[in-house]
Amino acid sequence: MEKIQLVFLGTGSAIPTLTRNHSAIFLRYRNRNFLIDCGEGTQRQIRKARINPCKITDILITHFHGDHFFGLPGLLHTLSKNNYSKTLNIYGPRGSGKFFKKVLEISGTPIRIKFHEVRGKFIENEYFEIFALPLNHDISCNGYFFKEKSRRRIKKQKIEKIIRKLRLKGSKEIKKISDLVKGKDVKINNKIFRLEDLTYLEKGRKISFVFDTKLCKNVYELSKNSDLAVIEASFLDRDKGLAKKYKHLTVEEAAKIAKISKVKKLILTHLSQRYEYEEDKLLKIARNIFPKAKIARDFMEVEV
């Protein structure tokens, strides 16, 4: 199974703290490297994490509030100074193209960039697909989920046993066995080898990102059956008046979303500076609702 690696580059909210930078997450899978949001200072966080910024292939912006994109002009400028040679695809919610035009004006970058306003499935290849769903914030905002495609795998020990038993030496016969992963039974030496006997389906993994929203239908749709859900937790229920005013989730709401959505693991991020010294309390509250909850920290690495 290929690794899916996440590096949390920034885990704070509107105001950064001594320990938390503005929002940004780096996701690495096969030959693609995604940056989800690019708050102020992200390119320095990238350097501290020893990530080569020129390896970034795609940038997903959830919305154009400063703590989620102020680092983008600087990063684009740096990429141009480092002779970035690929076409950089940047994605954002519908109606956000006008903000991105300003980013381009500020950065003055000559690199090749394509900006896409997205909703629904917007990336797909043989290995994975990525979806965007609108959230309920005070500006157009997307949540995203990455979904690996399920793959059929061969039971190697059984196959090796068959090869030895039938004394298969010809490459043509052995190559036929590879058709099993294409979902076909195979016939060798007049004997039928059944798909269900010699293969198994490896279920694809799902990772969801839910930032800056009040409770709405799509927080559950994004999180549903995720192996890992990364959900904002900007406030505690004691401050739910502020959460409602600014259209954010509370720690308690994030944990309940994970529970209802049958998430395997939950990571809380986008923490307000007002709780800088209450993280243990936040974690205890979350785990009382959803035991497999964790609090994100800058430079925390996670493998799914």
Contact in structure between 155 and 198 (CB atoms under 8 Å) = yes
pLDDT band at 152 (very low <50, low <70, confident <90, very high): confident
Contact in structure between 34 and 113 (CB atoms under 8 Å) = no
Does residue 13 carry a pLDDT above 60? yes
Both tokens assigned to 230: 């990364």
Reduced to 3 states, what is the DSSP secondary structure of residue 223?
A: helix
The domain defined by 4-150+203-303 carries CATH number 3.90.180.10: no
Contact in structure between 137 and 213 (CB atoms under 8 Å) = yes
Residue range(s) occupied by CATH 3.60.15.10 in the chain: 4-150+203-303
Does residue 252 carry a pLDDT above 70? yes
Q: What is the pLDDT of residue 60?
A: 98
Q: pTM of the entire structure?
A: 0.90
Q: What is the pLDDT of residue 79?
A: 97
Looking at per-residue confidence, does 67 or 157 come out higher? Answer: 67
Contact in structure between 26 and 34 (CB atoms under 8 Å) = yes
Q: Is 173 exposed, middle or buried (0-12, 13-18, 19+ CB in 10 A)?
A: middle
199-243: pLDDT as tens digits: 778 899 999 999 999 999 999 999 999 999 999 999 999 999 999
pLDDT band at 162 (very low <50, low <70, confident <90, very high): low
Q: Which residue, 43, 21, 13, 17, is CA-closest to 300? A: 21
Residues 6+ positions from 276 with CB-CB distance below 8 Å: 17, 18, 19, 20
46-81: pLDDT as tens digits: 999 999 999 999 999 999 999 999 999 999 999 999
Half-sphere exposure of 71 (CA within 13 A, CB side): 27
Reduced to 3 states, what is the DSSP secondary structure of residue 197?
A: helix
Looking at residue 68, its amino acid is: H
67 catalytic per annotation: yes
CA 139, CA 116: separation in Å to the nearest integer? 17
Q: What is the pLDDT of residue 240?
A: 94
Does residue 91 carry a pLDDT above 90? yes
Among the options 67, 179, 185, 227, which is catalytic? Answer: 67
Contact in structure between 147 and 206 (CB atoms under 8 Å) = yes
Instruction: Give the least confident one: 158-167, 249-258, 288-297.
Output: 158-167
Q: What is the mean pLDDT of the chain?
A: 92
CA 111, CA 30: separation in Å to the nearest integer? 24
166-182: pLDDT as tens digits: 665 555 665 666 666 66
CA 220, CA 146: separation in Å to the nearest integer? 15
Average pLDDT over residues 141-169: 78
